[in-house]
Amino acid sequence: MQTHEIRKRFLEHFTAAGHVEVPSASLVLEDPNLLFVNAGMVPFKPYFLGQETPPFATATSIQKCVRTLDIEEVGITTRHNTFFQMAGNFSFGDYFKEGAITLAWSLLTTPVAEGGFGIDPERLWVTVYLDDDEAHDIWANVVGVPEGRIQRRGMEDNYWSMGVPGPCGPCSEIFYDRGPDYGVEGGPVADEDRYIEIWNLVFMQNERGEGTGKGDFEIVGALPKKNIDTGMGIERVAFLLQGVENVYETDLLRPVIDTAEELTGARYAAGGDAAAEDDVRFRVIADHSRTGLMLMLDGVTPSNEGRGYILRRLLRRIIRSARLLGARGETLVALLDTARATMTPSFPELAENWERISHAAAAEERAFLRTLETGTRLFDEAAARLRASGGSRLSGADAFTLHDTHGFPIDLTLEMAAEAGLGVDEAGFRELMAEQRARAKADNRAKKRDHGDLGVYRRFLDEHPTEFTGYDRLVDESTILGLLSGGAEVPAAAEGEEVEVILDRTPLYAESGGQLGDHGRITLPDGSAIEVTDVQKAGKRLWLHRGRVAAGEVAVGSLAEARVDPAWRHSAEQAHSATHLIHAALRQVLGPDAVQAGSLNKPGYLRFDFSWAQGLTPEQLREVEQVANEAVDADWTVNTIETSLEEAKAMGALALFGENYGERVRVVEMGGPFSMELCGGTHVAHTSGIGPVAVLGESSVGSGVRRIEAYSGMDSFRYLSAERLLAERLATEFKAPSAELPERIAALSEKLRAAERRIADLTAAQLRAGAAAHLDRAEDLGAVTYLGLRLPEGTQAKDMRALADDLRRRLGDRPAVVALAAEAGGKAPFAIAVSDAGVAAGYAAGDLVAVLGAEIGGRGGGKPQLAQGSGADPAGIDAGLAAVRARLAGA
């Protein structure tokens, strides 16, 4: 049974039982505790946590999930994937244990001809929590599972929570027995390689307190409503129903392995110890290709932090694995294309986004191949230093630096070291990696937020979600429904207090879609007032007005007038509308692959992030600015259309990746096909109301992502006016028309550079001329001659390096060390050189730089003959030169 058929049967089974089918959410959600959606229940968390009331009593979904905590373990086991599809059914206070158990059992065991999966009931085992007699009895007496195939397990295995205070409860897991060829008898408690878990039924009935880990927390009480959350792994069921050995041999992943075989010339499952490592690499390629594809589909782009860093690691592990299997040249796009072909039947949106994804992948592969070149050069330098010092094993620190700082994979370091006849301190490397992982996990735990944070708003979300009236008005009559201070409800607040205000209706815009929340004022009839400096949302439907009581006292239940600061709103609307024009202009100039990756709009200013592999030329940037201003000059009406999501897509409206849209959406259109986007923000009435748009520049914010910054309205005018004034002053200073300024300035700059070169040449010549005199100051320390000099202030690093090398050569018939340092621009550049005889005697400049650097707060590096660096504390120069002398004298 193909994977797409398994998905179809699952959804049909539960919709026939009255469940509402909910489409998969994006892998990227606004959740402070998650980089990616990692479980099927994540989109339903607000309902389970009591933060929102669910619009349905029961639901079913097949959710895209990504788990990346142990990326480096992928492929070693054959049943875990970083990307997987979690099929689930959910009950919010409706059916409980018996309903969940019987629904799961019937789908698994119903014959294929009748719409089920047709699994032999004799193959199925179940586990329940230690004291969950209710679930045990349902399995035994209602379903009829023999007592011998029902096992009880402890909290680590059969009790579920989110890891922080919130809902929890016992669970029951369903396992499939693969038979005696795969392990020992005795059920899941004996062997989870033979007995594969395929479905987990969570009975959410309790609330947990503080604690860490899976089992060391207190159960503080019962939930007011009992809920069901189940998860069936589509990939695991697929490999069992398709009769293959593991998830990598299913219809979704095996084709990627086949493509990898073609690209590398290696063979999967070839047998033998050496081939076992290759098999892991094939599985890494298959797994990461699909995960990378799905992450990029949902708008993630490779970068050096957060989600983008995870994606970059995945893509680079693919490239690395393919290289280790024998591939040469670019392979990534071909592998992702195969993954696309297998996934498109379930995710048709892959087809329309493939061009964008393939371009981003190709750019990342080219960048990584350049990294490999750099890493190879750095490895060669490290290996040369190692041989010169008589060593034979690369340190763990060097291997870690190559990996962590330069992105050079440890596998390639090990491979190249072996080819060079060198070893690597793998234990030291692993220790440093473990320390880094521990820091990352500690940081992640610190960022986790209690799921009860939004519980204080639950009553308002259920009873009084905010009515937003700000599209049509800037002033509205309201009632204060709630006041919060310090995260708790208060009946009143006095002058000077910081508060959150909940109104029944408001014209103030709450921050979303990149547009900052409005500023404004809430005034009571008696003159009491609150200055609003920020507006945020809770649960997407409740507006939180944050500010300070500016006068009098405000109380819950009071009538009030909510007023938007009109200047703030007008400037914010100009910037937001200008953002749409910049987006449209970029797509006109660069093409449809220039898609939005994020934005920020505040009064008079915008920044717009977009997917693009290289920097824009000055000509392209000027054209983007011109196209945007032509749209302003066209004075198009800005139309807003409220329609269904499907109709909006049919109209061609652009959606922002990672956003979750409801069934009804708002389309903002400017100039017909020129700009049409899904957007909930506020906008000017006509494009001419934006005023001039001044592009400040563009820059990189990560691999494959660029950023444009611009001013709009009066801020744009003020910027352009200041630029004009600057040009006028320069024209007066240079006694030239403004149009000739670039040539005049370029000519002057070249004169200055030529003068600086002449000065530098003279300085270097003076230093060389005095080299002989310097030799008279060399000291005989017995085994080695030492020359330590503090050079004149302002001596440049390149001149110091040349002098050190010259002195080294002049002392070349004896073991000698030269150490030079100077103060230059508040820093302390230094150089150390060792004569050839000194290197032969065991002295290395690269080792001695650490001695000098320690005294001046600096570091450096280089080769055994010559190394250099710089420090932040010139006051330590004399002490540093003395420290080098002391080291040599004591050697």
pLDDT in tens, 652-707: 888 765 555 667 889 999 998 899 999 999 999 999 999 999 999 999 876 678 89
Q: In this predicted structure, what is the pLDDT of residue 405? A: 67
Over residues 67-96, the pLDDT tens digits come to 987 677 788 877 778 999 999 999 999 999
For residue 17, is pLDDT > 90? yes
Examine domains 453-564 and 569-722 and report if their fold is the same. no
* Residue-level pLDDT at 511: 93
Q: Which CATH architecture has domain 569-722?
A: 2-Layer Sandwich (3.30)
Exposed (0-12), middle (13-18) or buried (19+): which is 262, by Cβ within 10 Å?
exposed
Which pLDDT does position 84 carry in this prediction?
94
Query: Mean of the per-residue pLDDT values for the chain?
Result: 88
Q: What is the pTM of this model?
A: 0.65
**Residues that constitute the known binding site:** 576, 580, 679, 683
Instruction: State how far the Cα of 128 lies from the Cα of 537, in Å rounded to an integer.
Output: 40
**Distance of alpha carbon 171 from alpha carbon 388, whole angstroms:** 62
Q: Tell me the three state secondary structure of residue 781.
A: coil
Looking at domain 3-249, its CATH class is alpha beta
Sheet with 866-871: strands ordered across: 779-780, 785-790, 816-821, 828-834, 866-871, 858-862
pLDDT above 80 for 364: yes
pLDDT for res 272: 58
Find residue 555's DSSP bridge partners. Answer: 492
Handedness of CA 468, 472, 473, 477 (dihedral sign): negative
Asked if pLDDT for residue 255 goes beyond 70, the answer is: yes
The conformation of residue 803, written as its DSSP 8-state character, comes to H
Under 8 Å between Cβ of 47 and 166: no
pLDDT of residue 452: 43
Point out the annotated binding site for Zn(2+): 576, 580, 679, 683
* Amino acid (one-letter) located at 398: D
CATH class, domain 774-890, is: alpha beta
Q: How far is CA 676 from the centre of its chain?
A: 28
User: What are the boundaries of each domain within the chain?
Assistant: 3-249, 254-373, 392-451, 453-564, 569-722, 774-890
**In the predicted structure, residue 446 carries a pLDDT above the cut 50:** no
For range 571-578, the mean pLDDT = 96
pLDDT value for 450: 42
- Separation between Cα atoms, residue 490 and residue 496, nearest integer Å: 15
Residue 671: how many CB atoms within 10 A of its CB?
19
Distances (CA, A) of 433 to 12, 421, 443, 657, 711: 46, 24, 15, 33, 44
Q: Which of 26-35, 234-243, 356-365, 571-580 shows the lowest mean pLDDT across its residues?
A: 26-35
Q: What percent of the chain has pLDDT over 90?
A: 53
Alpha carbon distance 603, 571 (integer Å) = 4
Q: CB–CB of 32/448 below 8 Å?
A: yes
pLDDT at 448: 43
pLDDT digits (tens, 9 = 90+) for 591-642: 888 888 889 999 999 999 988 878 899 999 999 999 999 999 999 999 999 9
Note the maximum CA span of the chain.
101
User: What end-to-end distance do the CA atoms of the chain give, in Å?
Assistant: 74
- Over residues 827-831, mean pLDDT: 92
Class of domain 453-564: mainly beta
763 against 554, higher pLDDT:
554
Q: What's the pLDDT score for residue 274?
A: 55
